[in-house]
Amino acid sequence: MEKAESSFKTPRKVERGRSLGPSAQSPSFAVPASPFMKKFGYGTGVTVYLMKRSPKGLSHSPWAVKKVNKQCDKSSKSLYESRLNNEARILKNLQHPNIVGYRGLTKAKDGSLCLAMEYGGEKSLNNLIEERSEKKLGPFPAHTILKVALSMARGLKYLHNDKNILHGDIKSTNIVIKGDFESIKICDVGVSLPLDENMIMSDPDSYYVGTESWKPKEALEEFGVISDKSDIYAFGLTLWEMMTLSIPHVDLPPENDNGDEEDSFDEDDFDEDAYYEALGTRPALNVDELDDSYQRIIELFFMCSSEDPKERPSAALIVEVLEAENIQ
């Protein structure tokens, strides 16, 4: 740990970028009916489809289309459409190799609002974690975790330092992977928040949405100060996911002899009080199960998952240190 702390020094001040910019203006494009697109993801109130764009004689890269579910009631639909509009407005002004790109905003023939994005990969990091867990393959190789860490940190550095944006919902589900980690991109900026020059959430009327298991301590407190370091806590827990193949703070019972977890799980076995007590803290990590190749990841995880935001490194510093170590 002493070596890690000496490496993670205070980062130099980075020049600020432009503000979020105007609302998204959409190019004209047609969205096929849902049955004619491949469903490969979903979120609260939305479904994500693969939209192929290759008519005869032409070759176009596919798009990912996030579509508000038609079955939502009126009030929920309004909320999800507002978030999708906000995501389009923010995404339109972002351009970075580790962040999914904007392609357009329109309505499908059934009236559902649709956001078209760069196709970053058919599987999320969470999908790959679940697959690895089911096959009992153990932690991802250390070099793979470090590659994901650097890619995520580069994307977060761009958001924080260049665009004054807090992602606000970093987790494995919001990292899309193409191929054998050939491409690693952050997605889902729909609940992002503006940051001021001190990296503090600048809009007093905004609030941190996040996802419960990845929320930092300050987001769980009534008067907690939300900053760029709130993303860093969730970043640290995403590395933890790759080492443990688990959901942070959720201790599920082991599988039974038949390998069927659902048959052996009783809701009464879940300690709800312990779960809520653990939120915002550093989840336990059995370092004895990890060899020496994971040492740098363990050090990074420990610093990023500190309950005190001041003890967490910035995204810029993480990038600086990992690049200096020639992480590929």
Which residue numbers are catalytic? Answer: 169
Q: d(Cα 193, Cα 199) in Å, to the nearest integer? A: 11
Q: d(Cα 85, Cα 93) in Å, to the nearest integer? A: 13
What count of other Cβ atoms lies within 10 Å of the Cβ of residue 3? 10
Sign of the C-alpha dihedral, residues 273, 214, 88, 187? negative
The β-bridge partners of 185 are 176
Instruction: Provide the 3-class DSSP secondary structure of residue 201.
Output: strand
CB neighbour class for 265 (10 Å; exposed up to 12, middle 13-18, buried from 19)? middle
Sign of the C-alpha dihedral, residues 66, 144, 282, 2? negative
* SS3 readout for 41-109: EEECCEEEEEECCCCCCCCCCCEEEEEECCCCCHHHHHHHHHHHHHHHHHHCCCCCCCECCEEEEEECC
Q: d(Cα 8, Cα 303) in Å, to the nearest integer? A: 9
